[in-house]
Amino acid sequence: MTTTALRTAARVVGAVKVYGGGDTAVHALDGVDVDFPAGRFTAIMGPSGSGKSTLMHCAAGLDTLTSGAAYIGDTELGALDDRRLTLLRRDRVGFVFQAFNLVPTLTVEENITLPLDLAGRWGDREWIDALVGVVGLGDRLHHRPSELSGGQQQRVAVARAFAGRPDVVFADEPTGNLDSRSGGEVLALLGRAVRQMDRTVVMVTHDPVAAAHADEVLFLADGRLVDRMASPTADKVLDRMKAFEVRS
Ligand SMILES: Nc1ncnc2c1ncn2[C@@H]1O[C@H](COP(=O)(O)OP(=O)(O)OP(=O)(O)O)[C@@H](O)[C@H]1O
């Protein structure tokens, strides 16, 4: 095992994704090499249609590459049969989507522990309690999702994503349905999970303010990785995005 592999939560190598064929083929990913370091918060940005969601879905094992390879830790996703891929997604990957996707009939606490219950894992009570503390919903554990605001529901979804201590949490526009204050809380929460609890987050976003919460921003254009920015600020990210618009 190499040092790089030890420190990488997820990566894609020579990632190509082609939708359709012949004259109408779309090269959604056109040869992307990228590492998502463990213990870091990485944002993926780029113009609409640049391949952000495709990259995230292929890296997370929700979709398959046309060529190249995707890894979670040292596990190559293309080498897994459907059953193993399902287990890997369940046990080693967490997801947060724009829609909160909570189960309406379960309480906050039951929603948070759902992935562990489905996996037949007892979970680690201390870890769950720590997560509940970090998301700040300790007094809402027995409420149903419908009794919570959108921002609170997304915080439950974030806690659920981390419940099984996955190698990496993928977040797809996690603040897309939230006002800026609630969105800011969810982003701060993702940042705290990374920095205080040593978790790994990869987030797709259109929003420079959201991207500024990350440790590093990757920029995609036309299915290629064209730039990366460490220690981003919203202004620097916005300037970089404007440069794309001027060119296209
Ligand atoms: N299932 C599909 N079938 C055909 N083409 C697709 C499919 N999914 C995505 N594409 C195309 O692949 C390209 C990349 O799409 P993708 O959704 O990854 O971009 P994106 O950067 O996430 O865009 P957005 O910011 O608008 O969500 C686009 O040209 C899109 O039209």
What count of other Cβ atoms lies within 10 Å of the Cβ of residue 50?
23
Residue 3 lies in a domain: no
CA 58 – CA 71 distance, rounded (Å): 10
Regarding an ipTM greater than 0.95, the answer is: yes
Which residue range is the domain that position 163 belongs to? 39-63+81-247
The span from the CA of 104 to the CA of 147, in Å, is: 10
Distance 54 CA to ligand 1 centre (A): 6
Q: Is the CB of 57 under 6 A from ligand 1?
A: no
User: 214 — phi, psi (to 5°)?
Assistant: -80, 165
Predicted confidence (pLDDT) per residue in 118-142, tens digit: 777 766 788 888 888 888 888 999 9
In a domain, 68, yes or no: no
Per-residue DSSP letters for 135-191?
HT-GGGTTS-GGGS-HHHHHHHHHHHHHTT--SEEEEESTTTTS-HHHHHHHHHHHH
Task: Report pLDDT digits (tens) over 62-88.
Answer: 999 999 999 999 999 999 999 999 999
Quote the ligand 1 centre to 72 CA distance (angstroms): 22
Distance, first Cα to last Cα, the chain: 42
Q: Looking at the 3D structure of the chain, how many domains does it have?
A: 1
Q: Is residue 160 part of a domain?
A: yes
15 domain-assigned: no
Q: Which residue has the higher pLDDT, 177 or 7?
A: 177
144-176 pLDDT, tens digit each: 999 999 999 999 999 999 998 999 999 999 999
Asked if pLDDT for residue 244 goes beyond 80, the answer is no
Q: Which residues pair with 27 in a beta bridge?
A: 18
Tell me if 195 is assigned to some domain. yes
Does residue 229 lie in a domain region? yes
Share of the chain above pLDDT 90, in %: 79
Instruction: Say how many Å lie between the CA of residue 112 and the centre of ligand 1.
Output: 31
CATH no. for residue 165? Answer: 3.40.50.300
In a domain, 27, yes or no: no
Say how far apart CA 203 and CA 46 lie, in whole Å: 12
Mean pLDDT, the chain, integer: 91
Query: Is the minimum distance from the CB of 153 to ligand 1 under 6 angstroms?
Result: no
Whether residue 223 lies inside any domain: the answer is yes
Q: Is the CB of 51 under 6 A from ligand 1?
A: yes
